[in-house]
Structure 1
Amino acid sequence: MTTALPVAGRNALAGRSVVVKVPATTANLGPGFDTLGLALAHYDHLQVEVLDEPGVFVEVHGIGAGEVPTDESNLVVRAIAHTFAAYDIPLPGLKLIAENVIPHGRGMGSSGAAIVSGIMAAKGLLEGIVDIDSDALLVLATEMEGHPDNVAPALFGGLTIAWMTPEGPKHKKLMVHRGVSPLVFVPVHAMSTALARSLQPESVPHEDAVFNLSRSALLIAALIQSPELLLAATEDKLHQSYRAAAMPETNRLITLLREHGFAAVVSGAGPSILVLASDPGQRLVAADLVAEKSETPWQTLMLAVDFKGATVIRTDV
């Protein structure tokens, strides 16, 4: 994947600028642990400009303003630098303006979105100098994220199945049935993905593995063809029960929603709740139920499935 950049190419970076748009994601979807992901129409935006002078200057607006780093340790900057380094290209001076709406630490793929934002920005800045195809994008993003289930839908949109091979990460994108209507309940408190993963056992019973295999297969059918099967298809025995004690209100509301017939699961590592409704009207009933029964504040996001994934546009041409 490494391509040396001629001196003339380095000069070509001067004055380049791009805008990037990346969707939120929700991973696992119940039984599809570390495999299934869905892109949601809730977007972080990024502007990047190449500067004449060295150094990195970062502005963050919206979610994370005043909290996330604004120097070279910023995750978006690190993703840009990672991409440039993969092609043996020195990192130029950069100005970044991030407009963030994806909640941090809530299981909606904020770190994956930041990584994808940086990689897509690098792709746009290097247009005509190196060609970074979709396979390379997924490799770069997975190298930074550690696993592809969040970065694949952020990059490509829709429903994605992601897996690892000896040659690297792979993905398959599927279109979602138009009746599927995602609803996300976002709590005020965050949850560390590392903490959530630490609660996962090293091994699980054979019958639980078989259970999840059947539900994962059913979930694909439910999402692309038969939304009426979503409640049964989102059953899980591999990860949610092990993490329940760390997010009791999330677990309580998921149990309540499922008892009322809603396909509710933990969104990613949590603590947000994803409801995969079979029609838009069903979401209103679920939202009313949570508003009535919740013991802590929750933000309600009624979202569409994003089918396009991350985009980058050159703004200097």
Structure 2
Amino acid sequence: MLNASRLPASIDATLALLQGQGYVADRALATVLFLALRMKRPLLLEGEAGTGKTEIAKVLAAGLGRRLIRLQCYEGLDLASAVYEWNYAGQMMAIRLAEAGGVAEDRERLEGDIFSEKYLVKRPLLQALEPQEGGAPILLIDELDRTDEAFEAFLLEVLADAQVTIPEFGTIKAAEPPIVILTSNRTREIHDALKRRCLYHWVGYPDAARELAILKAKVPDAPAKLSKQLVGFVQAIRKEELFKAPGVAETLDWATALVELDAVALDPAIVSDTLGALLKYQDDIQAIQGSRVKELLDQARAEVGR
């Protein structure tokens, strides 16, 4: 593991950091990640679900020895869940105690007390601006495309200035900006204003050689013949007209399932029986069932050799 206070000094060192955590990256990804770290710019990763975008933030945090703070986005995400909220119960208790005590405190002083830091409930974005042991944290803003444009607009201050403005409290600015990774499955377009504040990389499906390397790293118990046929089949199936092509995550799930079944090679029967580990929509499974399974399996065998 690298010293927590040190970032990789080169693209090769960035590749080594990722590989040291079991993440098989290509050089293009390592390059943009290295630049994001050196330039202290947020990195926006787009791509299909299951291509390893979220994992990049996780392995970066592990490799650098930094805390990972994750904000999982969803429709309707608001500031109270993402940034901060006030401990209203505690504030009400303080007001009632002041009234019961008969203390003639002026209104301004009481407001200053109840809107102090001790009543501030910090959510992921605000936590990421605080000093952390071992250096600035990795802030993962995951699946940003699930939120709305209003939330994107709020993020502009965080991404550009590493600060949050709370009307009742003031502006909180990070002494050391967090390392920010944003991901999007591109279910909608991210606004240009946010993209301009980030470096960008599209995380696509890996080629056969890299997917085989990923499989060997993540499912080392899979027999060599099975792994090659499995990767060939997945590469072939991604060329089909499917509602959702399988990502790397599904490849690993399928490999793990086949290992549990003590499979040493693919055949039409075991492929048909286990497609639910690879494909997540019934229409896709039906489209591949029957003779199409054998055709794709023959393609996979021809590519990797028997």
TM bucket (normalised to shorter chain) is: 0.3 to 0.5
Q: Which has the larger radius of gyration?
A: 2
Larger RCO (CA under 8 A, 6+ residues apart):
1
Q: TM-score, normalised by structure 2?
A: 0.32
